[in-house]
Structure 1
Amino acid sequence: MKAMNRNQLVNIMYMSKTGEVTKRRVKIMKITDDTFKAYCFLKQAQRTFKIDRVLAIVPVIRRESEII
């Protein structure tokens, strides 16, 4: 919920229904009881994910590049 409210990108580890685990960077757009809709940068499309298949979620922290 926080990531969606802050318009923040997150990295997720997600297990498909076939058991394949993928790492995806997503922008969460809508959350329902057991799913969420997000823009998936891996697939470059909007996708629906089942919450119980998310293995891990980490916010993307953008750091400014240092100029030397």
Structure 2
Amino acid sequence: MKGLLERAKEQHAQIDLIYLSEKGEFTHRTVIVNEISETHIRAFCFAKRQVRSFKISNILSAVNVKRKEDQICVVIS
């Protein structure tokens, strides 16, 4: 997990998180990681439109967001 977060930070890449909030709610967030500590990340959250702090231990899933230019489109006629 930390490796993916580090790469995303270095590349300024968006990642999708499934996150367990302090209230026990599951949330989906798309973020850009700004800082990483031992226990938290600080990241711009597109859902909240501001920089937020996320506990690494509460990140249940993290994946890179596919950019449109990375996707291949095949048209069959």
Write the distance in 2 (CA, Å) between the matches of 1:17 and 1:7: 26
Per the alignment, residue 11 of structure 1 pairs with 16
SS of the residue corresponding to residue 18 of structure 1 reads coil
Q: Gaps spanning 5+ residues in structure 2: where?
A: 1-5
SS of the residue corresponding to residue 42 of structure 1 reads coil
Deviations 1:9-66 (A, max 9, x none): 0000000011100000000000001001000000001000000000000001112386
More helix by share: 2
Per the alignment, residue 42 of structure 1 pairs with 47
TM-score between the two structures when normalised by the length of structure 2 = 0.81
Compute the RMSD of aligned alpha carbons: 1.4
Per the alignment, residue 25 of structure 2 pairs with 20
Per the alignment, residue 30 of structure 1 pairs with 35
Task: Quote the sequence identity (%).
Answer: 33
- Larger Rg: 1 or 2? 2
2:63 counterpart (37, 50, 58)? 58
